[in-house]
Structure 1
Amino acid sequence: MAVLSPTQPAAAPPQEPAAPPPGGRGQADLRFVLPGAALTLLAVLLLGFAANLTVLGHIEHARAQQSGYDQLRSELAQGTAPVGRLDMNGKEVPSGSPVAVLHIPALKLREVVFQGTTSGVLTKGPGHLRNTPLPGQPGTSTILGRQWGYGSPFNHLDELKAGDPITVTTGQGQQHYQVTGIRRAGDPAPAALQNGQGRLTLITATGGAYTPHGVLRVDATLVGTAQPAPAAGGLISTAERPLEGDPSAWLPVMLWLQALLIVVVAATWAFRRWGRWQTWIAGVPVLVAIVVALSGAATELLPNLL
């Protein structure tokens, strides 16, 4: 066995592994945290946006149709359903109120029609253009409906043929129409109406799926005697015209964006102080709810006939 001499230094004790130098793997990963979180959040928003125009939008449309039908049926039974732009108290009928039931047997379509034609109103179903008379009254009554989103009630409107019947139930009873033709951009307008005659014009978009680029009109002539009509006309906003979005939706969009930012900051803090699974369980439902609400508000910025 070897013996150390008095002048030979003792062996150094084993040293612990040195910590990773600055800029190593631990710090390099942090550089991808914020961009990764931002891209993930953007992907979630896009998915929520698509879901609102498709699956969730159809569910929302079905719920609005059911509640609108229940309300209108009650008003018809009580004789308080709207018959003009003003209600029984002389006040303007609120936007989004049910005013009629549209039935097109050829398309197997039965939809509640709501007052107003903004993008938000048309998420519920077809909308009545407020500066035109209600169906059954003298003049041209105009109804707008979506081609693809939120139930796509007018998706097959171009399949109608001359002679197809249309029935509209309002506060003045059932009104019967007969289709006279379909118009696209550049087609001539129908002949002017004579005194006491009525016409129904249904409007939707043309183009591919969720890419509207034009307007399709279906004209139908009133069969029988027109109903008495209160004064029609008046002004409408730009958002109520065909293929227009609703600029007023920017306010809820900004508010929901602020709520989303608060939730993201709170989730980041909880992830570091509370734990991964606790944060996921508590934060995901809140995050999903805000994303759905935000994307729903954002869809109102898109063309109302989409």
Structure 2
Amino acid sequence: MSAPVVLPADGPAAPPRVDVLASGPAEPPRRGPRVVPPGVQVFTTAITILSVTLLGFGAYMAFVSRLHHDRAQFVSYANFRKDLAQGTAPTGQTQPEDPSKLLELGTPVAVLDIPQLHRKEVVFEGTTGEVMEKGPGHRRDTPLPGQPGASVIMGKATTYGGPFKDLSALVPGDEFTVTTGQGEHRFKVLDVRHGGMPQPPPPAAGTGRLVLTTAYGGMFAPTDALRVDADLISEVKPAPRQVFKASQLMPSEQVMAIDRGVWFPLVFIGEALLLAVGLLSAARVYWGTWQTWIVAVPVVGFLGLATADQVSRLLPNLI
């Protein structure tokens, strides 16, 4: 038989008293700062930099390219005025000081002044996209404006200032001038045409005509070329012997052509841009955000502008 259990005289021990109102609700356990894996940081930084670069390309085409055009026009106008004053401005397809050599691409050859459009543009030799970044280009296999035959000047409609963007606003009867090494020449608009509209009869022997050409249709997806035909109404100037023929034009000088020669520099600069993005993304993890961005802005900015300039030459030369 088991022994009886004897309790203390004052009863069983009371449990400890917990003052709930005094202590309040229990605090949840604190967590440390969230640690993002380095690989995720590198990836997100790279995506951010590439996104900013793409936005920069759009800004370049819309705004910065115009500054490129305006600066080239300012410098070239001053230089061409000096050539006119000294009598050394080109009057044909060859260099004035050495008739055995063709004019270099991008040489200023004329100043086109269209008061109806409030446009005064230096015209350069050649119609590649690179040349027309500076302004309208003279097609090399045609005579200069003011000489017998049909001269052709091509210009961009959207990018790099869009010097020919309002060309469709001209109407038959409008007059404008072109200044070359042979003086000032006056032209009267004959018609404005695009698509399947009929061409005017060719100019009569011993007379001159100028055809202004640009893109027609959507801003970055033109459907055709727009042409303004204008007859020379001032004195016809003699033309030097034509030594450069249409068959010698490069494919990139044709209407709505692209410059396929930019692929090599574009790939080289693009690789440099991707390498810079990768290195800067890794540097952010081990170096710090602000320190990385201070270095990233000028480096990526330079490479981004160089890439945008090359990519723009893959667009049709009249855009």
State the TM-score bracket (shorter-chain normalisation): 0.7 to 0.9
Please state how far the C-alpha of 1:85 moved relative to its aligned partner: 1.1
User: Can you list the C-alpha shifts for 1:215-259, whole angstroms capped at 9, x where unaligned?
Assistant: 100000001321111123421111111111101111221121122
Partner of 2:220: 210
**Residue aligning to 1:80:** 88
The within-5 A match list for 1:146-161 is 146-161=156-171
**1:190-201 mapped onto 2 (5 Å cutoff):** 190-201=200-211
The residue number in structure 2 matching 1:132 is 142
What does the per-residue CA deviation read over 1:113-161, in whole Å, with 9 as the maximum and x for residues that have no partner? Answer: 1111111111111110111110001000000011111111111111101
Counterpart CA distance in 1 for 2:132 and 2:268 is: 22
Judge conservation of contact 2:95–2:102 (CA < 8 Å) in 1: yes
Shift of 1:263: 1.9
1-structure distance, mates of 2:144, 2:49: 45
Larger Rg: 2
Q: 1:275 aligns with which of 272, 280, 288?
A: 288
**Would the aligned equivalents of 2:171 and 2:189 in 1 still touch at CA under 8 Å?**
yes
Q: Distance in 2 between matches of 1:296 and 1:257?
A: 12
Equivalent-residue separation in structure 2 for 1:270 and 1:37 (angstroms): 10
**Match among 143, 148, 152 for residue 153 of structure 2:** 143
Q: Measure the CA separation in 2 of the matches of 1:221 and 1:52.
A: 37
- Alignment partner, residue 11 of structure 2: none
The match for 2:68 among 60, 63, 78 is 60
Structure 1 residues 192 and 250: CA distance shift in structure 2, 3 A: same
Equivalent of residue 255 in structure 2, options 242, 248, 255? 242
Asked if structure 2 preserves the Cα contact closer than 8 Å seen for 1:149 and 1:210, the reply is no
Instruction: Report the secondary structure of 1:191's partner residue.
Output: coil
Structure 2 residue aligned with 1:105: 115
1:183 counterpart = 2:198: no
Contact preservation (8 Å) 1:85, 1:93: yes
Q: How far, CA to CA, are the matches of 1:270 and 1:38 in structure 2? A: 11
Within the alignment, does 1:305 sit opposite 2:318 as a pair? Answer: yes
Asked if 1 retains the 8 angstrom alpha-carbon contact of 2:151 and 2:209, the reply is yes
- Map of 2:13 onto structure 1: none
> Which stretch shifts more, 269-278 or 186-195?
269-278
CA distance in 2, matches of 1:292, 1:43: 14
2:299 and 2:260 map into 1 onto residues whose CA distance is: 27
Show the counterpart of 2:267. Answer: 254
Q: Which amino acid aligns with 2:55?
A: L
Kindly indicate whether the alpha-carbon contact (under 8 Å) linking 2:66 and 2:161 is maintained by their aligned counterparts in 1: yes
Cα drift, residue 26 of structure 1: 4.9
Would the aligned equivalents of 1:83 and 1:134 in 2 still touch at CA under 8 Å? yes
Deviation at 1:273, TM superposition (A): 4.1
Q: Which residue of 2 aligns with 1:118?
A: 128
Give 5+ residue unaligned stretches, structure 2: 1-28
Q: When the two structures are aligned, how many residues end up with a matched partner?
A: 285
Gaps of 5+ in 1: 1-16
Find the counterpart in structure 2 of residue 7 from structure 1. none
RMSD (Å), alpha carbons: 2.1
Checking the alignment, whether the CA contact within 8 Å between 2:42 and 2:281 is kept in structure 1 is: no
